[in-house]
Amino acid sequence: MLHRSAAALATAFHAARRGQRVLLASAGPSHLIGALLGQNLSSRPLELEANLAAIEIDPTEEISARWELLRPALRNGLTSRLRDISSDELPSFPGMDAISALIVGERARETGNFDLLVLDGPTPDSLIRGLALSDATRWLLRLVFGLDRGPGRSRTSQDAALIPSALISTSTVAPLQDLRAEFEGYRARLDASTGTRVRLVTSPEELRLPTIQSDLSILGLYGLAVDELIVPGEPTDVSFETRQIFGHEGGHARPTLRIEPLFSTPTDRDAWALRGAILYRDGDINTPPAHTTTTAERELRLAIPFLNAKALDIAVANEEVVVRLGQVRRHMLLSGLSEGGRLRARVEGEVLRLWVE
């Protein structure tokens, strides 16, 4: 965790010194950015220097504020009862660190004041749970109200709904549909095609464990590009066999393995900028990875590191493609399925290709 925060801090200062307007956001739950910088940070952005501001995200505060904006729209029908739930009553839920970080990122984008958002965290587990939340919301709304991912309701969804659509007014379900669409919009902004990059910081000991490979596979399933694995230490700390596992031969979609010292002692801004220059060899931090997610109207390609084709389970349910990889499922739309098209799937190295014909 300490090295992760140090990498984020060095990244932000390096990018800012190279002319990008950067927002550095700590997504918790433990906020170390301020301590490493010797600066008190809060949930309001603080300008550290030209081109760089920093914020500590309070997930409860962000989720509560978003709920208060939604409540006035819950006026009629079944959803009106939800209006009585105050923001103080909202529970903590898995993935809220990631969701609150995405809310902050969207707000920063809308201001037009920043070119780059650098997130310290969330952890891979929290990020994965946040990515899965929109699927869970979509499933629940379709199960109860027959709402599709699109603007309307298909006959299949209406027939399967627990509450007949004839009993539900548009004003009743519109706020819930908007909330569902908002969650999916947040997740879509993390797709590799938008320029989002994930860099995992791990120790030499953790690198040898299967957890890292599993996290990389799941993030790839959700369309995120992990372009670097940063391992603080010396090359001799990582065995030759481990370095070969993370090679790029044979159509692998695996991230670049970077093994080098990463200083994490508190220091001043100039020193953090210098550490960032060393970390990125004084180059651009936005170099795209060799493999990214690509989409077309009727086709989807997912770069999934360490993809095991035998662990995949692909099916069509309620006009969606459902891909299961281990304990994780992702639901996706492909144009043409609702019109009776036939789903095709192929594994090409560590790339999963899905298309409709």
Predicted local distance difference test score (pLDDT) of residue 296 = 61
Residue 98 lies in a domain: yes
Question: Is residue 231's pLDDT more than 80?
Answer: yes
State the Cα–Cα distance between residues 37 and 123, nearest whole angstrom: 21
Same domain, 90 and 171: yes
Same domain, 271 and 341: no
Mapped onto helix, strand or coil, the DSSP state of residue 104 is helix
Predicted local distance difference test score (pLDDT) of residue 304 = 92
Same domain, 318 and 273: no
Question: Is residue 324's pLDDT more than 90?
Answer: yes
State the Cα–Cα distance between residues 132 and 329, nearest whole angstrom: 8
Same domain, 29 and 167: yes
The pLDDT tens digits of the residues spanning 135-190 come to: 887 777 777 766 665 544 555 666 666 666 566 666 666 676 777 777 777 777 77
Same domain, 177 and 305: no
> Residue 181's domain spans which residues?
2-190+262-279
Element (H, E) at 173: helix 170-188
Residue 73 lies in a domain: yes
Predicted local distance difference test score (pLDDT) of residue 95 = 81
Lowest mean pLDDT among 44-53, 172-181, 256-265: 172-181
Residue 328 backbone dihedrals phi, psi, to 5 degrees = -115, 140
Predicted local distance difference test score (pLDDT) of residue 232 = 92
Q: How many domains does the chain have?
A: 2
Which of 276, 293, 290 lies closest to 228, judged by CA?
Answer: 290
Q: What is the mean pLDDT of residues 31-54?
A: 92
Predicted local distance difference test score (pLDDT) of residue 165 = 58
Q: The domain spanning residue 312 has which CATH number? A: 2.60.40.790
Task: Point out which residues pair with 315 in neighbouring strands.
Answer: 322
Same domain, 272 and 323: no
Predicted local distance difference test score (pLDDT) of residue 154 = 56
More confident: 117 or 335: 117
Predicted local distance difference test score (pLDDT) of residue 162 = 64
Contact 57, 27 (CB under 8 A): yes
Residue 152 lies in a domain: yes
Q: What is the mean pLDDT of residues 271-286?
A: 88
Predicted local distance difference test score (pLDDT) of residue 152 = 45
Predicted local distance difference test score (pLDDT) of residue 72 = 78
Same domain, 315 and 178: no
More confident: 250 or 86: 86
Same domain, 183 and 309: no
More confident: 143 or 212: 212
User: To which residue do tokens 């891979």 refer?
Assistant: 124
- Provide the mean pLDDT of the chain: 83
Mapped onto helix, strand or coil, the DSSP state of residue 99 is helix
